Chains A and B, each alone.
Chain A
Amino acid sequence: MNFKLKIWRQKDAKSKGEFKTYEVTNIASDTSFLEMMDILNNDLVHKGEEPVAFDHDCREGICGMCSMHINGHAHGPETAVTTCQLYMRKFKDGETITIEPWRSAAFPVIKDLVVDRSAYDKILQAGGFISVRTGSVVDANCIPISNADAEESMDAAACVGCGACAATCKNGSAMLFVAARVSSLAKLPQGRVEGARRAKAMVAKMDELGFGNCTNTGACQAECPKSISITHIARLNREFLAAKLKD
């Protein structure tokens, strides 16, 4: 297969970026999208040009590192997959593919397709944990948790922190990301103790870091590679309101 690639190139955070067009040829249909990028980059190196910088690591959809906007969609046109799990057989031979970095005020571009997502770490540092010291805990089976609660907690905990939700949201809101963590811990008895403080601290940090407000468009859920449901946002809102009422 052959493709024309329109790729965002930007030297560094301060420089102005622009689209550049490249061609790749003889791509096997079972090549992954990132392997196609590897082939392009190897060609560029041979030509003495700088390869396209992009974030990636595990290449099995779990580390959350890959982060491309492909043809207008976070992680490309397929639903429920990360960019690294996207295969070229999903594209048409000869197609022009547009590749951009995440576009979000809170995720500034570092180079080409690489953005700075440290804002997500900061939100979690504000309260996305249970304050338990190593070793000062009870036997695991002393905390029975219903199968349904554990499953729901796990549904939310599947978030890979890739940033697709905020990059997709027209308001640049990180609500789905925040909700996933708050909801996952809220479903567990261990997480209840600090529930109110957690919800308030994480939402406050999100606002402080320049993420926008949620207006329930549902775009985040549609683009989330792990299909995290916006029902978790509803739970976050409940947690947040309950916490505020206690103030």
Chain B
Amino acid sequence: MAFKLDSKIPAGALAEKWSNHKAAIKVVSPANKRKLDIIVVGTGLGGASAAASLGEMGYNVKVFCIQDSPRRAHSIAAQGGINAAKNYQNDNDSVYRLFYDTIKGGDYRAREANVYRLAEVSNAIIDQCVAQGVPFAREYGGLLANRSFGGAQVSRTFYARGQTGQQLLLGAYAALNKEIANGSVKCYTRHEMLDVVVENGEACGIIARNLVTGKLERFGAHAVVIASGGYGNVFFLSTNAMASNGSAAFQCYRKGAGFANPCFTQIHPTCIPIHGTQQSKLTLMSESLRNDGRIWVPKKMEDVEALRAGKIQPSQIAEEDRDYYLERRYPAFGNLVPRDVASRAAKERCDAGYGVNETGLAVFLDFKTAIERLGKDVIKARYGNLFDMYKEITDVSPYEQPMQIFPAVHYTMGGIWVDYNLMTTIPGLYAIGEANFSDHGANRLGASALMQGLADGYFVLPYTIGDYLSAKIQAPKVDTTTKAFDEAEKGVQEKIEKLFAIKGKQSVDDIHKRLGHIMWDNVGMARTKESLEKAIVEIQALRKEFWSDLKLVGTADSFNVELEKALRLADFLELGELMARDALQREESCGGHFRSEHQTEEGEALRHDDKFAYAAVWEYKGMDEAPEMTKEALDYEFTHRAQRNYKN
């Protein structure tokens, strides 16, 4: 049965849709809010801001995080900044321009109405964060400072050194703490959602595992909000935190929620290159570095060879022998092209043999020109903590030699399908932040993830959820002893027992690393029909191996990290296949999804709007069954879909 997708986009002019919608949707009175329970899964920017705002409004909120404190969520690691259309720099920025840059940056694969709303509420986010005490960077006159990010020709990014995500999360976490102290929010730390409970077609609770005791616990609510982030760790190596996973979202998919555009993965251009085989994760170097850093490789092959042999240092290569390939190919945006474009350009140079380290998989990000122009002190003030981090990891000082960088998996634009109200195909189940699919299309612009997480959590969901809950004001507390809860808990219990019963030879990490290689080699920066078909076969085989040869130690009823990892990997082994299937059906290139068969003469992504201007929404049919795809047409009423151009 295919989905009947209703995006619920309000009628009217683009700029009036959100206002009209807010006026039209129902609200819940304060007396009734007290009677309603909401579960929020995740405490990153989306989850923490939503839980805090809903608590303030008077709902009873239960919020869950897998770490020991809400403040650990991976939003904390976002470095560069957050976009808003304030136009404080007087560079002709506006809500429309932020909307347009975002929709163009996403290569015209996002919904116009959602993206416009995102741009519209962006300014309120900055006001909110300042009021909470977020110490954004300031000019000497005391007003807020901005910097530039990729895909934009204005300066609209607000920042707190290289720790913007940390400061915004601490703001949302503080708001959450205020509500926890107030008694409106109850926080469950070291708890992992292992299933969503659906009764009479509506979400009514979750099954969570207490990660300290190992006990399975039941929680009921009138609505469930998934804010569990992205699934980039399917690649094993990514910039995501070690515990970041796709399992909460995947359980929703298994229970009937549509999963949209799973193949849209962001490969971030500026990460520290892979070294050796013992690496556990990749470290991002903020996109903000591209404000002042220039990306290059040598023009001459003899210089490349001398670099690899350690005979010369990069700083010894003369200016005229350097190929600043982004400035050469994209004069208008230069080093500030969007991430997908910068990543592919780096891959193109490395594939041509110009990669600058021993693996041939690295390019330079150089601050020489900026240090000469601005002085070392200014560069230190702007990027000091990032330079220090780079030196800790590589033992090389970016003040003296250029950084070496290479693309790495960073963010997933795909996610749970949601309508304009952020509700999934299961009534009462919502998805916000990176966990949903709605705003970034096929490529997310830098400094827009923080914007979306906080937009959803502070300003969108708290209003739209009332429209659904207004029909629940007579509903009693959810009974967690029903058959639906029994079955959900039993399902989780059996899955855990099954994992322990395998008693095979390979550890979780052994198998996860192999999955990562399959994904990176075949579903990575460039994909072909052959590579994707190969990936599907290989992942299916690896999944069989997992379920027949996994070695799991410890017990289910105790603190057991191996079990946590095994449960997450079981889902990644299905999610990886879904990503490959989605990439296979999308026979075009757009944003971060690059099908080598579909490119322009100059090697740019070639979209086919006549055939693929839709979101692909997948429906689960079973672990070894092919999922079914339904299309949500993306009609562009207000913007002209053009070939993206960052050259002039």
Contacts and interface: CB of A to CB of B under 8 A. Distances in A.
Contacts of A126: 181
Interface in B155-192: 160-161, 163, 165-167, 170, 173-175, 177-178, 180-181, 187, 189
Interface string B357-382: 00000000000000000000000000
Nearest to B71: A161
B177 A129 contact: yes
A192 B553 CA distance: 52
B580 interface: no
A126 B175 CA distance: 12
A51 B564 CA distance: 13
B404 to A, nearest CB: 13
Contacts of A42: 507, 509-510
Given A110-B559, A137-B127, A147-B139, A59 B175 contact: no
A50 B130 contact: no
Interface in B514-555: 551, 553-554
Nearest to A152: B135
Contacts of A137: 127-128, 130-131
Interface residues of A, number: 77
Interface string A157-197: 11011000000000000000000000011011011000000
Contacts of A128: 174, 177
B6 interface: no
A237 B165 CA distance: 29
B278 A62 contact: no
B180 A125 contact: yes
Contacts of A57: 67, 72, 74, 241-243
A134 B175 contact: yes
B283 to A, nearest CB: 5
B301 interface: no
B278 A35 contact: yes
B389 interface: yes
Contacts of B474: none
Contacts of A147: 138-140, 142
Contact of B67 (A35, A44, A65, A111): A65
A139 interface: yes
Contacts of B392: 81, 85, 87
Contacts of B551: 45-46, 48
Nearest to B239: A60
B462 interface: yes
A121 interface: yes
B76 interface: yes
A64 B71 CA distance: 9
Given A31-B278, A128-B177, A65 B126 contact: no
A56 B132 CA distance: 28
A55 interface: yes
A89 B393 CA distance: 10
A132 B509 contact: no
Contacts of B72: 57-58, 63-65
Contacts of A118: 68-69, 189
Nearest to A11: B558
Contacts of B77: 58, 60, 62-63
B83 to A, nearest CB: 14
Interface in A1-41: 12, 27-28, 30-32, 34-35, 38-39
Contacts of A114: 559
A184 to B, nearest CB: 7
B459 interface: yes
A147 B22 CA distance: 38
Contacts of B389: 60-61, 85
Given A39-B278, A45-B562, A141 B181 contact: no
A247 interface: no
A53 interface: yes
Nearest to B53: A134
Interface in A117-136: 117-118, 120-121, 124-126, 128-135
Contact of B393 (A87, A133, A145): A87
B85 to A, nearest CB: 13
Contact of B76 (A62, A121, A131, A150): A62
A35 B279 contact: yes
Contacts of B279: 31, 35
Contacts of A124: 173-174, 177
A143 interface: yes
B556 to A, nearest CB: 13
B137 A150 contact: yes
Interface string B116-154: 000000001011111111011111111110000000000
A150 B278 CA distance: 40
Contacts of B140: 146-147
Centre residue among B131, B161, B166, B279 by max chain A CB count within 10 A: B131
Contacts of B129: 140
Contacts of A117: 68-69
Contacts of B212: 110
B462 A134 contact: yes
Contacts of B74: 57-58, 63
Interface in A50-87: 50-51, 53, 55-65, 81, 85, 87
Q: Which one of B74, B76, B173, B458 has the greatest number of beta carbons of chain A within 10 Å?
A: B76
Contact of A27 (B137, B166, B278): B278
Contacts of B88: 141
Given A38-B509, A51-B553, A130-B132, A59 B280 contact: yes
Nearest to A112: B559
A55 B189 CA distance: 13
B74 to A, nearest CB: 6
Nearest to B242: A57
B135 A157 contact: yes
Given A35-B280, A85-B392, 20 more contacts: A39-B278, A45-B562, A46-B551, A51-B562, A58-B76, A62-B77, A110-B559, A114-B559, A116-B68, A125-B177, A126-B181, A134-B175, A137-B130, A140-B127, A141-B144, A143-B130, A144-B142, A154-B160, A188-B133, A190-B132
9 cross-chain pairs, A with B, having the tightest CB-CB distances, nearest first: A144-B142, A129-B174, A137-B131, A153-B135, A140-B130, A154-B135, A150-B138, A134-B53, A57-B241
